[in-house]
Amino acid sequence: MPTILKPARRLNASLSAVVLALAAAGAWSVTNSAVAQTNDDPSAAPATHADQKAAKKQSKADKKAAVAQAKADKEKTDAQADADKEKANARVKDAKDQ
Per-residue pLDDT of the chain (98 residues; tens, 9 = 90+): 455 545 555 556 665 666 656 666 565 455 455 555 545 565 667 789 999 999 999 999 999 999 999 999 999 999 999 999 999 999 999 998 87
Q: At what angle do helices 27-40 and 2-25 cross, to 10 degrees?
A: 100
pTM, two decimals, is 0.45
Amino acid at 15: L
Residues 34 and 67 in one domain: no
The Cα–Cα gap between 80 and 78 comes to 5
pLDDT of residue 1: 45
User: Could you tell me which residues come within 8 angstroms of residue 18 by beta carbon, excluding any fewer than 6 positions away?
Assistant: none
Range of the domain at 22: 1-46
Q: Which amino acid is located at 94 in the chain?
A: D
If asked whether residues 38 and 53 sit together in one domain, one would say no
Query: Total structural domains in the chain?
Result: 2
Helix (H) or strand (E) holding 58: helix 49-97
